[in-house]
Amino acid sequence: MPTSKLMPLAVALFALGVVAIVAMFVAGEPGLPGWVFAAGWLLAPAGLALGVFSAVRSSRSRG
């Protein structure tokens, strides 16, 4: 089974987004800069979408 080169990037983006979301809950709203909120809102969904795209692309048969 060939491995996709996009999947490690997708996992990294998703993990960074989840870390940012956890940081939001731990630190509370007033204690964090705006880029942490942007990272939580953008990186996790982008990583998830890229992972789904990578999985679908790698599962298609090569014709």
| 1-48 per-position pLDDT tens digit | 456 788 999 999 999 999 988 888 887 767 778 888 888 889 999 999
Q: DSSP state, 60?
A: S
Distance CA 57, CA 9 (A): 15
Contact call for residues 17 and 44 (beta carbons, < 8 A): yes
Which pLDDT belongs to residue 11? 93
Which pLDDT belongs to residue 12? 94
Which pLDDT belongs to residue 1? 47
Both tokens assigned to 28: 């509370």
